[in-house]
Structure 1
Amino acid sequence: MTRDALLHIVGSGPAGLAAAHAALDAGAAVCLIDDNHAPGGQIWRGGPGRWTDARATRMWTALHDHPRFTHLAGTQVIGCADANTLLVEAADGGATIPFQRLLLCTGARELSLPFPGWTLPGVTGAGGLQALIKGGMPVRDRTVVVAGTGPLLLATAATALQAGARVAAIVEHQPWSRLGGFGLALLARHKAKFAQAVSLFAALRTVPYVTGARIVAAAGDDILRGVTVTVQGRETHYACDFLGAGFGLVPNTDLGRALGCATADGAILVDAMQKTSRANVWAAGECTGIGGVDKAVAEGRRAALAALGLHPAARDAPALRAAHAFAGLLARTFAPNDALKTMYRPDTIVCRCEDVTAAQLLPHRDWREAKLATRVGMGPCQGKTCGPACAFLFGWTPPDSRIPILPASARALSSIE
């Protein structure tokens, strides 16, 4: 590969950093675009000085200040001007970025499911709460509950404890029998993951871990005061200042769909070399399916080399197979089940941007019909929160991606030539 090759990468999480590192090693130039001001994405949030994963530090050390590396931090991609041109917005306004090879590492967002009180100040997603704490939100001597389903609950609880919070409970929706099977599968086929889980549980040994449970309601006046959960028909109330409610992740496919990339099962569809259905566009990491940091790193490396016309190293294949196997295990174990559809009530807000309740949505057959009759999905998030929720609750196909895919200022849009 000649040094004239330029690879544009959107997203600087584990997949994006791994891809940029592999591309530089191959002799290409890299332009890494990310809306955060520090690299790392959600998994490696906080920037180089706060990372605990040696891989992140090693890759960023190689990338930072490299003459063939350009980092456009604080720059959000808001759409595409044409098939090979991105529209971006930064602090100094809007711009266009043409590309020849584009790699999407756009990550995922949380699946937010409605329940009474979920719009109260103090209630966030589990990952959102973790990000706020890592970003410096003070929680020392405050009480936290994390509830929902998935390993992110444990990670969020550990982050809260390390920041000095009291964690009243971890409330996991899946029953202990399913969690036990997950642990045995880790021990048999993913020993490093099993060791991580054991270490995490050891750090959380003083925190009540409630399984087979479901949120009933969050309560408070102007702010959150507590949350009620039910276990086998018996309700328990926890007083708390913060509730992190997480029900899993959904791939962030907005930019991929805006570019015309095909999707399947809610993720960007890729082949064995991470190639999308669009010419000159590849994808890697959580946007191609939820699987964690190892999957993201392995796919990022493979996608970068494929985009440059190179063959991936044979030594990377076992890691990628193991990462995909772990992703499948996660999906089978922690997929939200129908019991979570009983959390909302008719007067529960589903679209929080436009205050659309479940009762207003229930008479409609699909997203389009509901949107014609209500303002669902017409707020600033453009259906990014309520769209996946409605897909889960009512079986509706999520809304199409529209440009701008993120809220953009009139100043930025007017400055784009």
Structure 2
Amino acid sequence: MRDFDCEVLIIGAGPAGMAAARAAAESGKSIVVLDDNPRPGGQIWRDGPAVQLPAVATEYRQALQGLNHVKLLNASRVVAQYGGRQILYESAQEYGLISYQRLILCCGARELLLPFPGWTLPGVSGAGGLQAQIKNGLSVKGLRVAIAGSGPLLLAVANSVVKAGGEVVLLAEQASLRRMLAFSCELWRWPTKLRQAFTLANRHYRTSSQVIAAEGVERIESVQVRQGKRIYTLGCDRLACGFGLVANIELALLLGCRIVDEAVAVDRWQQTSVKQIFAAGECTGVGGSELALVEGAIAGYAATENNEKALQQMALRARWQRFAMAVAQAFSLHPALKALALPDTLLCRCEDVQLGQVSEYTDWASAKLGSRCGMGACQGKICGAAARHLFDWPLSTPRVPLTPARVEALALLAPSKMEQ
């Protein structure tokens, strides 16, 4: 068991978390940054043998390494809240309590995966999941890869596949051509994004398109594609699907923070409804790395009472918030996506629960009790978000532990321990 005591605790070491730590460090206060990845960077700046990190990611990493009063706990997870201002954490080697005075949540986001026939076949993954695998050394050389779903991430994944020697045979975007053209016409307001769009352009990009089924015997062999009113079959070796991102708000819910539109609600200082808790980045609303960086900086300054420097960042934040709003409007999901899955399509892959087994329930808690949906290894992070989208279920407060943990760590949560 290993405990820590700090003035500022930051959960997450993606762009928002690193920016928050860098800003807060100017105060000289003791800081702990806890992150579940082996190295800082989050999902967007994930490191690996097949990765060349952007210069800004390298800059933030080096800045963190040079700060003596910042302790980085990699490959560590939050298990639960403990008493007042304490967090129970665990890694593969140790567990313990972290006491803090101020907490900054930079928990990021994860992919929204919507079920459809064949989505559990080997060779089918999330779009961001495939990108992460490629960064970690997965070979796609010579493979035919279909990419489908919604959002700018699809273009980035296609670029990763091409650079790794794979062949992109389809890039299916569910949004309409009209929306994409309107969005493209607005990109001049953000020149870096406009240049990025030209760099990532792919000739297989198709709007108003959805993969409606993956087919194969032992693994994926082809996909059924609906483009407008036309349906056709396309051979492929891999399929990567992602329907945008959902904020990681489980810890914020557990801590009692107010949630609006499935994101952590914050004020101009990035402060949540709980006085000593701040939040920044994708957990406050999906907006990309640029917005995450500036929100993290504001949270770091505000949490250490450097309001003057926080104020200096607010105009830049407003600029990237406008971009986030434009993306959300352009790539909002079509209601037809709710009809992709059939009653016998698996919703919960961990517990083999079919969609038809939970359709009679009215909320997540009753579905878990009646079907074991969401009670597997991922603790409902995949099927829970999908079910909320498909059935319009309300959010439910998570229960501890937030992640599977060793018995010794969980023993700290016993009532007798909490009262001491």
What TM-score bracket applies, with the shorter chain setting the length? Answer: over 0.9
- Corresponding letter in the other structure for 1:124: S
**Aligned counterpart in structure 2 of residue 307 of structure 1, from 297, 303, 306:** 303
Q: Report the equivalent of 1:323.
A: 320
Whether contact under 8 Å (1:93, 1:415) holds in the other structure is no
Offset of residue 5 of structure 1:
7.6
In structure 2, C-alpha distance between the alignment counterparts of 1:383 and 1:62, rounded to whole Å: 36
Which 10-residue stretch deviates more, 151-160 or 361-370? 361-370
In structure 1, C-alpha distance between the alignment counterparts of 2:66 and 2:412, rounded to whole Å: 29
Q: Report the equivalent of 2:115.
A: 114
Whether contact under 8 Å (2:174, 2:334) holds in the other structure is no
Q: TM-score, normalised by structure 2?
A: 0.93
In structure 2, C-alpha distance between the alignment counterparts of 1:408 and 1:370, rounded to whole Å: 24
1:28 paired with 2:40, answer no
Offset of residue 83 of structure 1:
2.6
Q: Report the equivalent of 1:38.
A: 39
Which deviations, in whole Å up to 9, do the C-alpha atoms of 1:65-90 show, x marking residues without a partner? 42112111111111111231111111
In structure 2, C-alpha distance between the alignment counterparts of 1:28 and 1:337, rounded to whole Å: 47
Offset of residue 373 of structure 1:
2.5
In structure 1, C-alpha distance between the alignment counterparts of 2:258 and 2:154, rounded to whole Å: 31
Q: Report the equivalent of 2:351.
A: 354
Q: Report the equivalent of 2:191.
A: 191
Whether contact under 8 Å (2:50, 2:134) holds in the other structure is no
In structure 2, C-alpha distance between the alignment counterparts of 1:49 and 1:214, rounded to whole Å: 30
In structure 1, C-alpha distance between the alignment counterparts of 2:306 and 2:50, rounded to whole Å: 33
Aligned pair in 2 of structure 1 residues 372, 59: CA closer, same or farther (>3 Å)? closer
Offset of residue 52 of structure 1:
3.5
Q: Report the equivalent of 1:251.
A: 247
**Superposed, which structure 2 residues align to 1:205-244 within 5 Å?**
207-244=203-240
- Corresponding letter in the other structure for 2:9: H
Which 10-residue stretch deviates more, 45-54 or 113-122? 45-54
- Corresponding letter in the other structure for 1:200: L
Q: Report the equivalent of 2:272.
A: 276
**Which stretches of structure 1, 4 residues or more, deviate above 4 A after TM superposition?**
47-51, 414-417
- Corresponding letter in the other structure for 1:295: L
Offset of residue 51 of structure 1:
4.7
- The count of corresponding residues between Structure 1 and Structure 2 is 409
SS across alignment from 1:36: coil
SS across alignment from 1:82: coil
- Corresponding letter in the other structure for 1:379: G
Q: Report the equivalent of 2:138.
A: 137
Q: Report the equivalent of 2:361.
A: 364
**Aligned counterpart in structure 2 of residue 289 of structure 1, from 270, 279, 285:** 285
Aligned pair in 2 of structure 1 residues 305, 48: CA closer, same or farther (>3 Å)? farther
SS across alignment from 2:313: helix
Offset of residue 236 of structure 1:
2.2
In structure 1, C-alpha distance between the alignment counterparts of 2:38 and 2:205, rounded to whole Å: 35
Q: Report the equivalent of 2:180.
A: 179
- Corresponding letter in the other structure for 1:190: W
1:158 paired with 2:155, answer no
SS across alignment from 2:169: strand
- Corresponding letter in the other structure for 1:364: Y
Aligned pair in 2 of structure 1 residues 62, 391: CA closer, same or farther (>3 Å)? same
Whether contact under 8 Å (1:123, 1:224) holds in the other structure is yes
SS across alignment from 1:224: coil
Whether contact under 8 Å (1:45, 1:51) holds in the other structure is no
Backbone CA RMSD of aligned residues: 1.9
In structure 1, C-alpha distance between the alignment counterparts of 2:291 and 2:308, rounded to whole Å: 15
- Corresponding letter in the other structure for 1:38: R
In structure 2, C-alpha distance between the alignment counterparts of 1:108 and 1:132, rounded to whole Å: 18
1:381 paired with 2:375, answer no
Offset of residue 117 of structure 1:
0.5
- Corresponding letter in the other structure for 2:115: P
Whether contact under 8 Å (1:172, 1:209) holds in the other structure is yes
1:200 paired with 2:200, answer yes
Whether contact under 8 Å (1:143, 1:168) holds in the other structure is yes
Offset of residue 50 of structure 1:
4.2
- Corresponding letter in the other structure for 1:92: Q
Whether contact under 8 Å (2:150, 2:244) holds in the other structure is yes
Offset of residue 318 of structure 1:
2.1
**Aligned residues: percent identity?**
43
Whether contact under 8 Å (1:213, 1:230) holds in the other structure is yes
Offset of residue 47 of structure 1:
6.3
**Aligned counterpart in structure 2 of residue 397 of structure 1, from 387, 394, 397:** 394
- Corresponding letter in the other structure for 1:107: G
Offset of residue 303 of structure 1:
0.2
1:261 paired with 2:257, answer yes
Q: Report the equivalent of 2:82.
A: 81
Whether contact under 8 Å (2:15, 2:41) holds in the other structure is yes
In structure 2, C-alpha distance between the alignment counterparts of 1:115 and 1:139, rounded to whole Å: 24
- Corresponding letter in the other structure for 2:332: A
Aligned pair in 2 of structure 1 residues 308, 315: CA closer, same or farther (>3 Å)? closer
Q: Report the equivalent of 2:340.
A: 343
Q: TM-score, normalised by structure 1?
A: 0.94
**Superposed, which structure 2 residues align to 1:64-79 within 5 Å?**
64-79=65-80
1:99 paired with 2:95, answer no
Offset of residue 365 of structure 1:
2.8
